[in-house]
Chains A and B, each alone.
Chain A
Amino acid sequence: MYPELGQLALILALLLAVLLSVVPLVGSITGRDNLQAFARPLASGQFVFIALAFGILTHAFMTDDFSVAYVANNSNSMLPWYFKFSAVWGGHEGSLLLWILMLSGWTLAVAIFSRRLPAEMISQVLSVLGMVGVGFLLFIIITSNPFDRLLPNVPADGTDLNPLLQDFGLIVHPPMLYMGYVGFSVAFAFAIAALINGRLDAAWARWSRPWTTVAWSFLSVGIALGSWWAYYELGWGGWWFWDPVENASLMPWLSGTALMHTLAVTEKRGVFKSWTVLLAIVTFALSLLGTFLVRSGVLTSVHAFASDPERGVFLLALLGITMFASLALYAFRAPVVHVRASYGGLSREVFLLLNNVLLVSATLLVAIGTLYPLVLDYLELGKLSIGEPFFNTTFTPLAVATALLLGAGIFSRWKKTDGGWLARKLLWPLAISVIASTVVILGYGSFKPWALVGVFSAMWIAVATFWDLWEKSDSRKGRVHGLKRQSRSYYGMILGHLGLAITIAGATVVSNYGVERDVRMVPGDTATVGDYQFVFRDIGQRQGANFTAQYGSFDVVLDGKRIAELHPEKRQYPVGMSVMTEADIDAGLFRDIFVAIGERLDDQAWAIRLQYKPLVRWLWLGALFMAAGGFMAISDRRYRIRSRADQKAEAKSAPTSSEDPAGAVS
């Protein structure tokens, strides 16, 4: 009975989404307030019914209702409850339902937190979000119904959740990632609404900014969680593989980063408007592309659950329609908007423009590397793969250039920066970074040029950031007062940039100074990796909830002292007949010690992977910093106070307001 109600709830949500995408929009164009007033109730209603459907599917999982095909395929009665819960999004249908739940949640959030926006704007934004909702609800109802039944032959038990997914990572990684992906739909909706009503102004940029920043923060965390999960579970200690599904999430992150920065320029200086709108559209399109790549089955990977061609075609059509419609709108409406500001050669505007050029180039590059083999394969022009070396050789220079630019850009000023002044400003930070990074590199042992470049990039960002903070916080009333006087959005920027520096440092050091050894060991053997000795004590059996495991015991010895005891496992899951490697890690802020058991070689011997991973945690720590920076920035009070001031200004100078004060400088 319940599953049918779930499907009914989805259909009702679809009807509400259709109404949401039409009624407020028509109301805003014809100027009928009574139609616009439907926007918020419809957004709430859509959320309620989708949440209901999601709750019903969750209930089916928790109560082991194997008459539901999706539950039978992705769960098992022996599964612990928290994995039954996360198994809701462990397969294709449920993960789409999660996607839609997030979308309706974002829509609801826009409805709730945008009370100060003009009614016309909010109606159009919610209508655009409603259209996206219609597309995805149709997709799920037509091709991917999670409530399909297996009647009358109800299986006695489920075929179990893929053991790879029976992990804490599944509980947190997809929701965070989807929050980010789907969150960009809000920036997209604001952009489309601005194109529709022709109000591409600083106020529009200010409204979009917090939403974009939040989505970006979630996406940063989501990607970091995915990388961390791959590191300890699937990757045998690797943390980024330039795998198409990883790239699918990196592309919207890169263009979202560009969008965040160009929104700042548009808000502060009223320039780059057309470019900002285009980026908002592209970023959301890349989120859709990511969903398509991962969900359509064009890629065979742990993420691709479905290989039903109908689904791929539907998603591609959805992507095509969205792109075509929004770019057509862009082509017709964008030229209306004029650039009315001037800025000099080394102004902050130019630095941020360069930042955008680099980030968009990086996005393009990842897109080429990801899509080229797929397109070639589709056209039957041959099968090839583009490996990590391609991405490493092309991505690294762009990342370094971005970092160098960032350090200089921090000191730059709006409108005009004097070149000589800037050069003098950069002298000390440059000297400090060069010396400090050389010391760090030598501390890790051998000198490697790329390691120096990487560490220098990180150091350069960090030193410039702190230098700037030190100068800005200088105050006659003392340092503490000076620090307090800085705005939260400034601290947000500092956290974000430091996060990038931390991630770059981690990536550089672990790639250059990590040690990995695959060895043949029998119990009693000792192997050396770097300064660490690994003693293989023994290996035995262990019984888990729904698996049996070979359970190894290792001592890690440093300078004659035992510093850790590790227990990697090799698990057998009887239901799905699958084998899983469960590494054990002694984690630390400055280094991880990693042991994983490979295959059994003979009666005694095992293949063992031993690793020393310096600064590997910094990769993800940096992402946490970036996300914290994002949340810090949106808590800035100016988003609240100035938006009230806006309203007053709008009340005075009604419709012709596509100019803003900053735009009148020239």
Chain B
Amino acid sequence: MHPIRKKRLTIVLFLIAGIALAVGLTTYALRQNINLFYDPTQIAAGEAPVDVRIRAGGMVKEGSVVRDPGSLKVEFQVTDFNQSVPVQYEGILPDLFAEGQGVVAMGRLDENGRFVADQVLAKHDENYMPPEVADSLKKNGSMGQAGETVEAATN
């Protein structure tokens, strides 16, 4: 083969190998690490898989936060004003976590329908509502209510 062609062939083969490697790794890792979002209504209806890492979100129900007196364990209800899901978490809650505020939690559902969270997000801005939460509230027609709750919490 002509040396230049050979060279080009090497380059192309390298590129293909690199891309194949990247695509392979990516699809493998993607399959393992996609975290789907479920709202409380979906979870209550049994649509969410048990013992798979998922995200769940909604508003923290007023008066539902219960702390364990001896540790950092905490339980609260997350609601979309239609259904609620009990959430269990151990650790430090974010600064903006409060009853009546929107949160997104990462974790797994156990057999009893309880959401065991390893991460709770209530991000950055006091007016912020996680977009998933806002969407699912809108879908369930309770946005107005949620909006008021947010207002009440920030004023």
Contact = CB atoms under 8 A, between A and B. Distances in A.
Contacts of B126: 576-578
A246 to B, nearest CB: 14
Nearest to B69: A602
Nearest to B97: A599
Contacts of A486: none
Contacts of A577: 126, 154-155
B35 A393 contact: no
Interface residues of A, number: 53
Nearest to A596: B92
Contacts of B26: 364-365, 368-369, 394
A419 interface: no
B95 A581 contact: yes
Contacts of B67: 601-602
A167 to B, nearest CB: 14
B35 A343 contact: no
B11 interface: yes
Interface residues of B, number: 49
B30 interface: yes
Interface in B129-155: 130-132, 135, 154-155
Interface string B37-77: 10000000000000000010000000000010111100000
B19 interface: yes
Given A342-B7, A353-B11, A609-B92, A384 B124 contact: no
B36 A580 contact: no
A519 interface: yes
A518 interface: yes
Nearest to A360: B18
A481 to B, nearest CB: 40
A579 interface: yes
B36 A382 contact: yes
A44 interface: no
Given A301-B123, A361-B22, A518-B72, A387 B35 contact: yes
Contacts of B131: 300
Contact of A598 (B4, B15, B93, B128): B93
Given A368-B26, A390-B32, A393-B29, A357 B15 contact: yes
B95 A383 contact: no
Contacts of A394: 22, 25-26, 29
Interface of B: 3-4, 7-8, 10-11, 14-15, 17-19, 21-22, 25-26, 28-30, 32-37, 55, 67, 69-72, 90-93, 95-97, 106, 123-126, 128, 130-132, 135, 154-155
For the complex of A and B, the 3 pairs showing the least CB-CB separation, nearest first, are A598-B92, A357-B18, A390-B33
Given A387-B106, A390-B32, 18 more contacts: A234-B124, A301-B124, A302-B125, A339-B4, A339-B8, A342-B7, A361-B19, A361-B21, A382-B37, A384-B36, A393-B25, A394-B22, A397-B25, A581-B95, A599-B95, A599-B97, A601-B67, A607-B72
9 contacts: A234-B124, A236-B92, A342-B7, A372-B30, A384-B35, A385-B35, A389-B29, A601-B72, A666-B4
Interface of A: 162, 164, 234, 236, 300-302, 339, 342-343, 345, 350, 353-354, 357-358, 360-362, 364-365, 368-369, 372, 382-387, 389-390, 393-394, 397-398, 518-520, 570, 576-581, 598-599, 601-602, 607, 609, 666
